[in-house]
Amino acid sequence: MSDCYWQPMLDVSPAQEVFTPKKHKDTGLPVTGREKVLQQCEQTNPIPFTECISPAMLNKCVKIGEGVYGEVFRTSNRRQSVALKIIPIEGDFEVNDEPQKTFDEILPEIVISRELSYLSEGDVNYSNNYIGVNNVSCVQGRYPETLLTQWDKYDSRKGSENDRPDIFDDEQLYIVFEFADGGQDLESFEFNNLQQAISIFQQTAGALAVAEKELEFEHRDLHWGNVLIRSTKQDHVIFYLDDQEYRIASHGLEVSIIDFTLSRLQKDECTIFCDLAADPTLFDGAGDYQFQIYRNMKKKTSINNWEPYEPHTNVLWLHYLADKLINSKTYQDSDTKAHKSALATLRSFYRHLLSHSSAEQVVVESELLDL
Ligand SMILES: Nc1ncnc2c1ncn2[C@@H]1O[C@H](COP(=O)(O)OP(=O)(O)OP(=O)(O)O)[C@@H](O)[C@H]1O
Ligand SMILES: [Mg+2]
């Protein structure tokens, strides 16, 4: 597992109030990771599952995804379809062959998800293409039976690589994220045409550029399981970069970027990042271009130090995504003139993509965003 840090710089700032080692005024005792996470969850103590997920929501849960750290269920609240990401924490045994995260280790994912979600309220820099965070809760107890049933159904349908979550007892702690439902991941999504795929690429590049500008953000793990796609009735997806408006033809689709476990950002003079050096196996993967990207990112760091801002990592992931759109996706209308001409444009863009230093430079200087 990689280690995550909240690295303060010299001056005290609002973010440091939350993230740097602090002491209680009355007792002089240090504020713990548990207290910081509970503060983020606006709770004083962990709550039971029944308080976090209403019976109506629980009964509609369907498992839709999984990762090493957690299980993801789709359900709906009174207003919208949502995704619940449930991550066991603090236990002293391995889950899915990995040690469970501690309160301190889960804090960065909470903060980064929130900061990126706030970009949809931004002004000078605005993007609505990061997954919306509705709620974050700290929960304690056994895994609900209804969710175990849904876990089994997913396992029969798709085959799960995770441990069945009946291994947890009454004392187990979890972080439950309630995200907006971002739709289907790029890996499984079927495009009607290449214009749609180009729009997905443009939206992703735009979102990365906005977060670079506002937060010195690097995603550092933007494989096609972490780009979600849903349909939209809006003709255009808009973002603001440095007060400049950009309009991208949506072709009926909208992107949501997810999964900030490896991400890096800076806010109020504090840098939050994950020390990828702590997990050398991340750089050993073979087969897919995805695994080369981790090695290429490492080459951009000096002495495997993951704290400094190196926005070229965002360009490396854009290059990977463009490669997937060109070489791993199929398009129904691939015989048409429109397809061939769009493919030629995308290919020529792809050839020059790696010469850009950041997603911002891709957006500002590249002809693909003017299509
Ligand atoms: N908000 C969402 N809307 C729809 N589907 C989602 C959402 N969040 C996650 N998913 C689905 O669940 C899968 C796993 O989620 P995610 O990538 O956040 O977790 P993870 O892979 O466990 O993270 P990690 O890389 O930290 O292990 C995604 O690939 C996606 O299919
Ligand atoms: Mg993921």
214 and 299 together in one domain: yes
Is 23 a domain residue?
A: no
In this prediction, residue 368 has a pLDDT band, given cuts at 50, 70 and 90, of: confident
3-state secondary structure string across 293-310: HHHHHHHHCCCCCCCCCC
257 and 123 together in one domain: no
| pLDDT surpasses 90 at 19 | no
Domain span at residue 61 reads 32-180
Last residue of a domain, one of 180, 196, 217: 180
Are the C-beta atoms of 351 and 329 separated by less than 8 Å? no
Q: Write the pLDDT tens digit of every residue in 151-171.
A: 999 999 999 999 999 999 999
Active site residue 221: yes
Pinpoint the alpha helices (H) of the chain: 14-19, 33-40, 49-52, 55-59, 103-117, 145-158, 194-215, 289-300, 312-327, 337-353, 359-365
Give the Å distance between the CA of 341 and the centre of ligand 1.
34
Ligand 1 and 67: CB distance under 6 A: yes
pLDDT of residue 137: 98
Instruction: Give the Å distances, CA to CA, from 151 to 96, 155, 228.
Output: 14, 6, 21
Which residues surround the ion ligand 2 when the cut-off is CB under 5 Å? 67, 225-226, 259
Give the residue among 324, 310, 322, 307 at the shortest CA–CA distance from 353: 322
Give the CA dihedral 194, 196, 197, 200, nearest 10 degrees: 160
**Mean pLDDT of the 256-263 span:** 97
Ligand 1 and 228: CB distance under 6 A: yes
Rounded Cα gap, residues 370 and 367, in angstroms:
5
* Closest atom of ligand 1 relative to the 180 alpha carbon: 1
In this prediction, residue 140 has a pLDDT band, given cuts at 50, 70 and 90, of: very high
The amino acid occupying position 54 is S
Is 13 a domain residue?
A: no
pLDDT of residue 227: 98
Is 2 a domain residue?
A: no
171 and 192 together in one domain: no
Which residue has the least CA distance to atom 18 on ligand 1?
Answer: 259
215 and 104 together in one domain: no
Q: What is the CATH number of the domain that holds 118?
A: 3.30.200.20
330 and 271 together in one domain: yes
Closest ligand to Cα 182: 1
What is the side-by-side order of every strand in the sheet holding 133-140?
Answer: 62-66, 71-76, 81-89, 173-180, 133-140
In this prediction, residue 24 has a pLDDT band, given cuts at 50, 70 and 90, of: confident
**What is the residue-averaged pLDDT of the chain?**
94
Give the CA dihedral 7, 272, 210, 15, nearest 10 degrees: -70
**Higher model confidence: residue 6 or residue 230?**
230
172 and 200 together in one domain: no
**Higher model confidence: residue 194 or residue 31?**
194
**Range name among 179-183, 268-272, 295-299 with the lowest pLDDT average:** 268-272
Give the residue among 218, 196, 194 at the shortest CA–CA distance from 317: 218
Are the C-beta atoms of 321 and 207 separated by less than 8 Å? no
Phi, psi of 63 (to 5 degrees): -70, 130
pLDDT of residue 93: 97
- Beta-sheet pairing, 81-89 with 173-180: antiparallel
- Numbers of helices and strands, H then E, in the chain: 11, 15
**Mean pLDDT of the 51-69 span:** 96
| pLDDT surpasses 50 at 205 | yes
pLDDT of residue 269: 87
Q: Write the pLDDT tens digit of every residue in 95-115.
A: 999 999 999 999 999 999 999
Percent of the chain with pLDDT over 90: 88
pLDDT of residue 25: 81
**Mean pLDDT of the 229-243 span:** 98
pLDDT of residue 39: 95
Give the CA dihedral 60, 64, 66, 72, nearest 10 degrees: -30
359 and 219 together in one domain: yes
Give the Å distance between the CA of 77 and the centre of ligand 2.
23
| pLDDT surpasses 60 at 315 | yes
Rounded Cα gap, residues 135 and 47, in angstroms:
13
- Which residues contact residue 190 at a Cβ distance below 8 angstroms, ignoring those fewer than 6 apart? 330
192 and 170 together in one domain: no
358 and 295 together in one domain: yes
Is 45 a domain residue?
A: yes
- Which residues contact residue 129 at a Cβ distance below 8 angstroms, ignoring those fewer than 6 apart? 203, 204, 206, 207, 237, 239, 254, 255, 256, 257
Provide the domain count of the chain. 2
Last residue of a domain, one of 180, 197, 212: 180
pLDDT of residue 14: 45
275 and 154 together in one domain: no
**Measured between alpha carbons, how far apart are the two ends of the chain, in Å?**
41
| Beta bridge mates, 89 | 101, 173
**Higher model confidence: residue 278 or residue 24?**
278
Give the Å distance between the CA of 70 and the centre of ligand 1.
8
**Mean pLDDT of the 223-244 span:** 98
Ligand 1 and 83: CB distance under 6 A: yes
Rounded Cα gap, residues 94 and 137, in angstroms:
22
Is 12 a domain residue?
A: no
Q: What is the DSSP letter of 25?
A: T
Alpha-carbon 39 to chain mean position: 22
Is 14 a domain residue?
A: no
227 and 246 together in one domain: yes
In this prediction, residue 4 has a pLDDT band, given cuts at 50, 70 and 90, of: low
| pLDDT surpasses 70 at 18 | no
pLDDT of residue 154: 98
Q: What is the CATH number of the domain that holds 257?
A: 1.10.510.10
Closest ligand to Cα 263: 1
**Mean pLDDT of the 74-88 span:** 97
Give the residue among 58, 60, 68 at the shortest CA–CA distance from 143: 58
Sign of CA dihedral 189, 194, 196, 200: positive
Last residue of a domain, one of 164, 180, 196: 180
Look up residue 11 and give its two tokens. Answer: 């001056």
pLDDT of residue 212: 98
170 and 242 together in one domain: no
Percent of the chain with pLDDT over 70: 94
Q: Write the pLDDT tens digit of every residue in 216-228.
A: 999 999 999 999 9
